[in-house]
Each structure stands twice: as structure tokens, then as C-alpha cells.
Amino acid sequence: MSYGSDSPFGGPPRPREPQRPSSPSGKKISPLTLTIFAVVIIVAVFVFLSNFYADILWFNQLGFSQVYWTERVSKLVIFVIALAFMSIPMWFSMRSAYKHRPVYAPNAGQPDTMSRYQAQLEPIRRFLMVGIPLVVGIFAAVAVAGQWKTVLLFFNQVPFGSNDPQFNMDLGFFIFSLPFIALINGFLISVVLLSGVAGLLTHYLYGGIRVEERGGITIGKAARVHAAVVAAVFLVLQAVNFWIGQYETLTDQSGRVAGALYKDVHAVIPAKMILAIIAVLIAIVFVIAAVNGRWRLPLIGTAMLVVTMIVVSGVYPFLVQQYKVVPSQRELERSYIDRNIEMTRLAYGLDDVETTDYDAKISTEKNALAEETSTTANIRLLDPNLVSTAFAQLQQFRGYYTFPKNLNVDRYKVDGKVEDTVIAAREVNVDQNDTWVNQHINYTHGYGLVAAYGNRVAAGGRPDFMLGGIPTSGDLITDKDYEPRIYFGENSPEYSVVGGPDEGWTDQELDRPGTGGENQDTRYTFTGEGGPNIGNMFNRLVYALKFASTDLLLSQQVNEESQILYDRDPRDRVSKVAPYLTLDSSAYPAIVDGRVQWIVDGYTTSNDFPYAQQKQLDSAVADSLTNAQDLSLSGRVNYLRNSVKATVDAYDGSVKLYAWDTEDPILKSWQKVFPTAMQPLEDMSADLIEHVRYPEDMFKVQREVLTTYHVDNPDAFYESNDAWAVPDDPTSSTAGVKQPPYFMSLKMPTQDQASFSLTSTFIPAAASNGQQRNVLFGFLSASADAGSTAGVKSENYGKLRLLELPRDTAVPGPGQAQQNFDTNTRVTQELNLLRQGASEVKNGNLLSLPVGGGILYVQPVYVQSSGQTSYPTLRKVLVSFGDQVGFADTLAEALDEVFGGNSGAVTGENEGVSPDKDAPESEKAPTQSDAQKLSTALSDANKAITKGQDALSKSDFAAYGEAQKQLQDALNRAMEADSSINGTDVDGEVKLDDNAASESAEPSQPAEGSNG
């Protein structure tokens, strides 16, 4: 008989392992089967690795290989370390338990059953002792590797230079160190628990822990020592957990406000310190017990720790809160609320808001706007969220082009004057059901930007284009080398194959509509460096696998110079090269140094800023123009900085990252991690600086924070009697969605001159009964103009200005202003006339402007006739100041109606329009006489309705019949003029009976999208 070496008696004999057949049938596996199996494995590995290789090619081509390798190597190193720290202790725990198993277990419990278990496990024991720790370690390591950002920030942290108000520690400790310590400590606790459980199970399987027949449990010495060591280490780690818990109270969100309040400072924090000390002392007692074998004291100590935890960290804080704080909460919490206000405003960049009391008046007088020329001349009448179809009808030219639903607002200098501009990219629109060649070879790119003046329209209410056409022409092109082609955009195909040899190659890509006699589309070959080369068969195979396309592998139109363009959305490209940033939901195009560039705002965020209130980003940035799938921001944060401005070249897809907020410690830390990824602010050209805007998503979060944190007095904050709300969008057909902020050029009352700004308004928050007053309490603007000097950011950029109106104000809010429009008798009558003939009235964006000592509301009114080729045209302008409403064909006339016949305002529309003289006849603007005919006809119809009402009131049916004839004639003339303007046919005449005529005189329902 042979014996093992683990005891003097050698231990139980090892069972002989039976020989296993090479296959279930006992026959040897054939070489063909082995070959097939090997090929399958090789193909699977190749497919798996091809994505990594494709990523390497993509990052190398963009010049961001350092980002790729730093992230991957960091994850790999963290994975290996975590795997070792989880697997080795677990293996050692199981191995130690097995090594110190009893040689002969007494006949207690069910020894025969245990023996059978041991016999069954023995053949695979070594495999299980290695395999179980390895599998558990892999899962744990994957989870920890996903926290690579936390690890890298800890090792590359930069101090904030400011301390927290409670522990007087640098804020960087809470942002960088505390999350890392919590991560490591939590991981080590998992290691100890899993290793301990694995070891104790091994003790049980091999008799170190036995369940007696009478219900008792016998634990061997080795198992007791093992358990004592595990308990001691666990208690030490738990002590660390208690210790860092006192710092985590500063980011706690469960109180009235965020941070450590009176209860936390005077009960919770001391309790955490006491528990940490007790846990360490009990851990020492467990170590002593493991040596001397006396277990009574550590067991008593453990019970005391549990009781202490319940009393000190649960009961005592509850009693302090209930009987100390609640009766005098305002006084006791005052200093902590003050901390919360200060730190929250600092965390969201609101510590330097310029707040001004604005005693807005509601009465009007002549020439009230004479001194407001810089604002009134720039009032934007073109709604970027309504005129997309107008851009499409007038500037799309071919079905393979498209414009986004919501256009962008920017500013450009034209003839020495800065003009607010509605701008959009004319992108390619690929039919997903088309052939592979058309989708990926022919239709590869869009063509040019299209821009229109924001403060005026052309004849017939159509956009007045300052840039458009194919080839592109207009006032915005000052560079002869302007490159209009858009290969990278928000609507680009999934991938395109482009490029070809310099000689002997026939252009394949459809470029733009031709202008020759046969009007054939011109073709083009991409000449830049926009994507990885797929000229060799290996790279083609890699990308054929990536996109699951045999056409890509077999197509004869792929040549040795071909490149593949993919990941073409600007935000996607920036996200891949800067995975440490949170990106704004909106990327916007601009002409920069002769090229179309997409500009993307990048944020650094944290959820660990002391005493700062958290915000749910997706709900804070959602409004009537966005939905969940459009949002890039999500999750909860309590620190936000617009740290990076990124550009993506629309032609070659090149990405540049500029360090914008050079004082942000989080950005500085990432610059240490990726030293070559970002360019300094000094490298930004003057042309690029001119088109940098204040980021919309950040502004939305800031205005959401200011609904509460505009109050800086702790007592008033505690009473919460001055809470605000962002008003709902009164022009939206969806109830309960916020009004979006609007870009416009204006001069705030505290400014010396106008600046391009992002604006929003505030109304009082809803009362406890759900009722809400729609009066104006605040007006917020952010200076969005970054300047015009290369490498220099304007000091005025990002300046937040808040106008606070008196709380007893009668100034209407946006909803009430819309209500005033919708219930005005003259307005509803004329809008009813505009709706005749299946035409649809659409309310444009409701702009709020602090001018004339009060608040002016301006809303363009668009009319769209029926038909697939119709588009909204500006027909009227609504204006209100206080309760006075103006409604006219032009902004100037509407303002005069409100301000006593003469507002004194200079408006942008006074500068006239510029019809496209060279445009095709079908695309030319309607003549001014058509617009005049429509206006005259509507005016005559309104007069006829009034005459008919007067005749009915006097029972003069003859006069009533005459008025109906006049109304019929006016409506027919209006229909003819409208059809001429919009290029649609009139199907017959409008017929009115007596009932219809009388109903037309009644106030109409509010226009679509209003909250009337």
C-alpha cells in the first residue's frame, strides 16, 4: 500500500485514474476532425482579433494611438493585478484548508457520504483548486478593469488648491483619492469574503468542519485558525470602510441638502471613527485567539461591534436628528446649508453669476426701444427648428441630399457686421435598400453648408440665404480654397470606400448635380487621409468581417489606394479618441479657415464634489427639442466643466482636441495621462475662436441648478419660498416639456454692447397643490461669444447674467404671453383666415428679450400649405410687452402697434432682402406683389367678417349677404396668392355658407403647439 506525504501514516490511498478512451466509441479521433476543429478555432480567434486590429488601424490613422494603447494597457494591467489579487488568495485559502485537513475524521455525521464526495472530487481536485479561483478572478478583474478611469486619475491627480469646509482637505482628495480607496477597499473585502468562503467549504468537504448527528458543529483547530485570520483581515478592511465613511458624508445626498449636516458632523462622523477603532481592536483579538485558542473574547467583541454599529451609527444619529435637529433645524443647519450653497454654485460654475434686480415695467410708450438698436436689429425671426423643410425645398436640389430636423444658430461677419445665422450641413442621404455599390461607393458625401440670415426673410417669407447653391456661393466664402464636401457628418453612411490612383482611375463618387448642357451629375475621387487603407487583401478581409460584407471583399471597385471611412458622426469620433470626456448632445458645423468643421463641446464631470447637490443629467438637459436617444449626457453628477473644445474636419475626419478650461484640475489630470492628445488653447485659430459657442447642455444644467440655488441666504433657502422652475415650451404640442434655451445677439441691461448669448427664463415653481403662476421671475443669459483673437479666449465668454424680477411682478411668463397671443380676438380671426384652404399655422420659437425697461416677447408665425412640396413661410410676427399685443406682417409694424404707433426700434428686416436672381425659375422666391396680394386679401376678409357681424346685429340681411360676397371674394384672392407663393394648385374655390361664416368670426382654437 502506498501512502501520501501529508501525515506520518501517508493518508488515504489515491484511487487509480481509469484510462479514458480517445473518443466515446473508443476509437482515435481522425486527423480530419482535428483539422476541422483547429480551423474553427483559428477562424474564431481571427474574427475576435480582427476588431482589435481594425481599431489599431483607425486610431493610428487619426494620430491617437497613444489613447488607444494607454487605455488598453491600463485595463490589461489592472485586469492582471485584480486577477492575481483575487485568484491567489482564494487558491491559497483552498490549498491551506486541504493541506491541513484531518487525516482520519471521527465517525460522526455522515462519514461514508463525505468519503464518497472526496473520492468523486479527488480526480479533479487540482483542476478545481486552480479553475475556481481563476474563473472568479476573471469576473472580478473584468469589473475592476472597467474602473480604469478611477485608477488613472488617482495616480495622475492634480490638487484643486481649495479645501473642503469640514475636514480642510484638498478637494482633490474627494475627487481622485477617495473613489480609488473605496474601490480598492471594496475589492479587497470581496477577496477576503470569497477566499474565506472557499476555504471554509474546503474544510467542510475534507472533515475540518463537521455536522454532528445531534445537530452540533465540530470545528477543527486548522479551520478555527483559518476563520480567525479571515475575520481579522475582514475587520481591518471594515475599519478602513468605517474610516473613509466619515469623508463620504460630505457627498451624501439623503439630507435636506447634500453634504454633512448637523447630525452627520455631531453623530455620524464620530460614530464612524469609533467603529473603525473598535473594528481594529477586535481584529487584534482575533489574531490573539488564533494563537492561544481562546475564542470567547473575540466572539464577545464581535457581538459588541454589531451592537455598537446599531446604536452608534443608527440609533444615536436618529435621536440627534429627531430630538435635537428637528425642533431647531433652521438654526442648527444654517451653516451647513450655507456650505451647500457655496459648494454647489462652485461645482457648476455658478460662483460668479452677475445678479441684478430688474424692476420690469409692463406699460408701453412711444420710442421705448429707440436705445435698444443693438438688440432689436438682431431679433431672430427665422426659427431654426421650423425651417428645415424650407432649406430642403430650396437648397436640397437632389433626393440624395438631406438636412437635419433642427438647424443650428451661429454668427458670421458679413460686410464688417456680425450677423446671427441659421446654418445647416447639406448631407448625403443614402437609401438603405439601395445596392451595395450605391450605398458605399457612389453616395459617399454631402456638399456644402447652407446659411440664412436670422433677423430677416426674403420675399414670400422664405429664408434669405447668405450661403447656398451648388457649387456653393455666398457672403460667407472668403477663402478661394473652400472645401465644401462633407464626408463626415451626423447623417453619413455607415461606411464608404473612397480613393483611387492618381492615374488611370475613373471617378466613382457622385459629387454634385451638374450644370452642363446634359445636366449630368459630376463625379469625384476623395484625395484626403480619412480612413484606414484597405488596398491589401488582409485589411479588406478584416473590414469585410467587421461589417459582415462579402461585397467589400469581392468588389472590383476597391483598389490599392482605397480607404474605408467609418465612425463618421462627429460625436462618435470625439468619444472614441477622448473616452474620458462627456460630450454635449449637439455638434454644429462652421466654416473655419476655408473648411467645414464640426465643433463639439466636451465636459469633465464628477459625482464626488463635497457638499454639492447632484443633478440627473438626462432630465436636466431634456426639453421640447430633445428626446432620450438624442442625449449624450446621462447619469448623476455634482461637478461639471466645459473643459475641451473638439473639432472634426468634415472632409477628412481629422479630430483635434483643445484644452479650453485650463484651470480645471480634472482636465489637467487627464493631460498627464494623455500628454499628446490635447492641443493648447494657443493653437486655436482666430477663425475657430469666432465660432466657439457656450455649450447648450451645460447651460441647461446650470439653469436647472439656479432654479433653487439663485437663493444665497441659508434661511430663505431653508424655507424654500422662492423656488423657480424652467417654463414649459408654450409652442410644443407635448405637455410638460421644458422650453429650450435660445441663441441670439442681445444687450443685457448691464452690458455696454450686444453679444451673442444663450438665454432662458424662469417662472415660480409650482405650489404644493400643483398650481403654477406663469409670471416671469428671472431671465438668464450666458455670453457665448469667445472672441476673435487667435489663441485668446474673451474674458466675457461664459459670463452668466441673471436678472431677478420683483416677486410681486405682473410681467407675463412665456406661457402667459402665448396665452395672450392665442386669445387676442384680432389675432385669432386673422389666423383663422390663414388656415383656410388646408393651410397650417405654425408658431415659431417664442423669444424673450429684456428691452425697453421690461420684457419683450417676439414670435414669428409661419404658414404651410398642404402638399408634399410645401414648406413653412413667415407670414406674420407676434409681439407683446406686458399685456399689449402686436400682430403684423413685419416685426417693425408689430412693434409699432405695441408701442403707441412708433416703437423707435431699428429692425434687421429694414435692410431688405436679396432674392436669388440666378436660381432656376421653379426655385426663385415668389414676387413681393404676391405677398402683398395675400396681405391685402386677408385684410379685406377680416373687414368683411366685421361688416357681416355688424349687419347681423342690426338684422340687416341684405348688408349681411353683401358682406358674405366680399368675404368669398377675399378668400379666393387669398388662396390664389398663397398658391402662387408656395407653388401649389388651387382646387376650386372656397365656399362659405351662413353657418361657416358666422363660425369664422368666433375666436379660434390656439395654434398647434400652443398651451392656450
Each residue's pLDDT tens digit, 372-383: 999 999 999 999
* Beta-bridge mates of residue 211: 217
Interacting residues of 312 by C-beta distance below 8 A, sequence separation 6+ = 271, 274, 275
- Single out the residue of 234, 241, 238 nearest to residue 286, CA to CA: 234
pLDDT of res. 650: 96
The cell for 235 is 475587520
Instruction: Decide if pLDDT at 2 tops 70.
Output: no
pTM of the model: 0.84
Lowest mean pLDDT among 783-797, 968-982, 983-997: 983-997
DSSP 467: E
Count Cβ atoms below 10 Å from residue 305 Cβ, excluding itself. 17
Kindly state the percentage of the chain with pLDDT values over 70: 87
Residue 540: which H helix or E strand, with range? helix 537-546
* Sheet of strand 473-474, all strands in order from the earlier edge strand to the far edge: 408-414, 417-425, 449-457, 463-468, 473-474
Terminal C-alpha separation, the chain: 98
Q: pLDDT tens for residues 245-298?
A: 999 999 999 989 999 999 999 999 999 999 999 999 999 999 888 888 788 888
CA dihedral (683, 685, 688, 692) positive or negative = positive
pLDDT of res. 942: 75
- Mean pLDDT, rounded, of the chain: 86
CA dihedral (465, 469, 475, 478) positive or negative = positive
The cell for 242 is 468605517
601 in Cβ contact with 487 (< 8 Å):
no
Instruction: Decide if pLDDT at 912 tops 60.
Output: no
pLDDT of res. 916: 42
CA dihedral (665, 668, 673, 678) positive or negative = positive
- Single out the residue of 430, 431, 434, 423 nearest to residue 395, CA to CA: 423
* Beta-bridge mates of residue 112: none
Instruction: Decide if pLDDT at 708 tops 90.
Output: yes
Question: DSSP for 434-446?
Answer: S-HHIIIII---E
More confident call, 396 vs 171: 171
pLDDT of res. 985: 44
Preceding amide of 570 cis, omega within 30: no
- Single out the residue of 584, 589, 580 nearest to residue 571, CA to CA: 584
Residue 773 corresponds to which amino acid?
A: R
Instruction: Decide if pLDDT at 180 tops 50.
Output: yes
Mean pLDDT of the 967-990 span: 60
Instruction: Decide if pLDDT at 996 tops 70.
Output: no
pLDDT of res. 37: 82
d(CA 252, CA 272): 14
Instruction: Decide if pLDDT at 921 tops 50.
Output: no
CA dihedral (903, 905, 911, 913) positive or negative = negative
Question: Residues 771, 774, 776, CA angle at the centre, nearest 5°?
Answer: 135
Among 5-9, 27-31, 688-692, the range of highest mean pLDDT: 688-692
Q: In terms of C-beta distances under 8 Å and separation of at least 24 residues, what long-range contacts does 465-469 make, across chains too?
A: 465/394, 465/395, 465/916, 466/412, 466/414, 466/419, 466/421, 467/423, 468/394, 468/395, 468/916, 469/395, 469/916, 469/919
- Single out the residue of 641, 633, 686, 632 nearest to residue 659, CA to CA: 641
Query: How many Å separate Cα 731 from the centre of its chain?
Result: 23
Helices (H) and strands (E) in the chain — how many of each?
30, 33
pLDDT of res. 111: 52
Instruction: Decide if pLDDT at 990 tops 60.
Output: no
DSSP 165: T
pLDDT of res. 632: 67
DSSP-derived 3-state class of residue 453: strand
Q: Are strands 884-888 and 636-637 parallel, antiparallel or unpaired?
A: unpaired
Residue 582: which H helix or E strand, with range? strand 582-583
- Single out the residue of 243, 246, 266, 261 nearest to residue 167, CA to CA: 246
Mean pLDDT of the 132-144 span: 95
The cell for 214 is 445531534
DSSP-derived 3-state class of residue 102: coil
Count Cβ atoms below 10 Å from residue 102 Cβ, excluding itself. 16
Instruction: Decide if pLDDT at 953 tops 80.
Output: no
For 672-690, b where at least 16 C-beta lie within 10 A, e where not — what string?
A: ebbeebbeebeebeebbbb
Q: What is the CA radius of gyration of the chain?
A: 37
442 in Cβ contact with 508 (< 8 Å):
yes
Lowest mean pLDDT among 201-210, 776-785, 801-810: 201-210
C-alpha distances (whole Å) from 521 to each of 442, 499, 512, 524, 527 are 11, 19, 6, 10, 19
Q: What is the dihedral of CA 467, 473, 475, 479, to 10 degrees?
A: 120
DSSP-derived 3-state class of residue 374: helix
More confident call, 39 vs 167: 167
The cell for 320 is 440627534
More confident call, 844 vs 290: 844
- Tell me whether residue 389 is exposed, middle or buried, using C-beta atoms within 10 angstroms of its C-beta: 0 to 12, 13 to 18, 19 or more: middle
